[in-house]
């Protein structure tokens, strides 16, 4: 029972001493989100173009579209694509998941953290995915390596928390396999992304230097672990100094010129510990340098691969003043073992 003489709240209201202000919370101060700005739906025979800054890390929804070209040149949080038919879709950089459901006969260029399809048919996917792509109850799904460039794309990858080197586009997991049939396949080597999708003829995109050409792509073209050219396998690792990404890209571009038959199969950007470094590099010489930050690792394979990689790596490192921040396999007898150790270690990190 309350005290009859207690007048705390009443007196406060009467005297004006009670704080009339309501508490303010951070979510009360956020700008209201208009979901229509982040939704494309019920569009037929149209074209939708989202420029940098228009999505800015929000969730995005695409649904019930037909014969429509949808270009999202910005970073997003997650994207769902439902019930779309014969559409062309570009999702430049998605931090989390891209989920395609009940779609058919679409061409998609997608970079994301996670990728999944369910109940999809006859889809052509050019993908950059940080984790293993998953298909479920889907058939006739064709996969190729993501290729795209525009001025802000590298920044959008960073804002989405994506690495251009962590791309598992060819390591597909099928949740619902059918015995004796393949629900998915990888595009042949001769396929070009420009044969499947084109960019709008827009002055804005021209100012952004937008391109689908492999040599301009922010994401390096990898052939995937399924590709086994004859010759040597070589591990090339670039250690952190703030320029390891630029050095790795310069190396990849130079190697294509130096030895076109030496192919880039896989790439990863990971954090290494001393024990992992000793296991991969077979020496403790790199124990201190791996602690500086992320390591970019490349698997190259082909004739005279080790010699070509060494020559290009030395030239790149010398030109950028970082000769002690690159490793190249030297012994063909253990180079494949080094490759397996590095990428197995990397895959364990992503599973974890």
Q: Which two tokens stand for residue 290?
A: 């791996």
Question: Tell me, what DSSP letter sits at residue 168?
Answer: -
Domains present along the chain, CATH in parentheses:
34-204 (2.160.20.70), 222-351 (3.30.70.141)
Mean pLDDT, residues 216-240 taken together: 90
Checking if the pLDDT of 2 tops 60, the result is no
**Over the stretch 117-132, which tens digit does the pLDDT of each residue have?**
999 999 999 999 999 9
**Residue 220 · residue 249 · CB < 8 Å:** yes
φ, ψ of residue 232 in degrees (nearest 5): -85, 155
Q: How many CB atoms lie within 10 A of CB 319?
A: 12
pLDDT tens-digit map of 307-342: 999 999 989 888 766 666 899 999 988 999 999 999
- Predicted confidence (pLDDT) at residue 13 exceeds the cutoff of 60: no
Helices (H) and strands (E) in the chain, counts: 8, 16
Tell me the CA distances in angstroms from 84 to 69, 87, 194, 305, one per residue in order. 11, 7, 21, 44
The pLDDT of residue 31 is 61
Q: Please tell me whether 171 is known to bind a ligand.
A: no
pTM comes to: 0.87
Q: What is the pLDDT of residues 36-68, one digit of tens each?
A: 889 999 999 999 999 999 999 999 999 999 999
Percent of residues, the chain, with pLDDT higher than 70:
89
In 3-state terms, what secondary structure has residue 258?
Answer: helix
96 known member of a binding site: yes
Residue 3's pLDDT is what?
45
SS3 96: strand
Tens-place pLDDT, residues 284-310: 989 989 989 999 999 999 999 999 999
What's the pLDDT band for 239 if we cut at 50, 70, 90?
Answer: very high
Q: pLDDT, tens digit, for every residue of 185-203?
A: 999 988 999 999 999 988 9
Average pLDDT over residues 102-123: 98
Closest Cα to residue 140, out of 119, 169, 167?
Answer: 119
């Amino acid at each position: 029972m309350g005290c009859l003489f207690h007048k705390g709240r009443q007196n406060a209201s009467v005297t004006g001493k009670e704080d009339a202000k309501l508490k303010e919370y951070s979510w009360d101060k956020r700008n209201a989100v208009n979901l229509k700005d982040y939704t494309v739906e019920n569009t037929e025979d149209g074209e939708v173009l989202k420029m940098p800054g228009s999505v800015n890390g929000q969730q995005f929804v695409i649904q019930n579209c037909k014969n429509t070209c949808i270009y999202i040149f910005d970073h997003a949080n997650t994207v769902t694509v439902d019930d779309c038919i014969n559409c062309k879709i570009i999702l430049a950089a998605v931090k989390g998941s891209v989920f395609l459901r009940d779609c058919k006969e679409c061409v998609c260029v997608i970079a994301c953290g996670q990728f999944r399809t369910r109940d999809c048919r006859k889809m052509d996917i050019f993908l950059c995915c940080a984790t293993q792509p998953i298909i479920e109850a889907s058939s006739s799904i064709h996969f190729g390596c993501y290729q795209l460039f525009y001025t802000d794309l590298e920044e959008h990858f960073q804002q989405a928390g994506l690495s251009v080197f962590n791309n598992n586009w060819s390591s597909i997991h099928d949740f619902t396999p059918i015995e004796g049939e393949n629900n998915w396949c990888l595009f042949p080597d001769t396929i070009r992304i420009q044969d499947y999708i084109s960019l709008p003829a827009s002055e804005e995109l021209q100012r952004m230097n937008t391109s689908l050409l492999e040599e301009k792509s922010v994401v390096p073209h990898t052939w995937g672990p399924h590709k086994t050219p004859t010759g040597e396998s070589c591990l090339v690792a670039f250690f952190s100094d703030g320029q390891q990404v630029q050095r790795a890209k310069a190396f990849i571009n130079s190697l294509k010129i130096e030895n076109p038959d030496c192919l880039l199969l896989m790439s990863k950007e990971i954090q290494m510990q001393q024990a992992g470094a000793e296991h991969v590099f077979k020496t403790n010489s790199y124990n201190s340098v791996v602690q500086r930050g992320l390591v970019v690792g490349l698997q190259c394979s082909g004739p005279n691969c080790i010699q070509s990689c060494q020559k290009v790596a030395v030239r790149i490192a010398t030109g950028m003043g970082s000769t002690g921040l690159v490793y190249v396999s030297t012994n063909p007898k253990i180079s494949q073992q080094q490759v397996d150790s590095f990428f197995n270690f990397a895959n364990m990190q992503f599973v974890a």
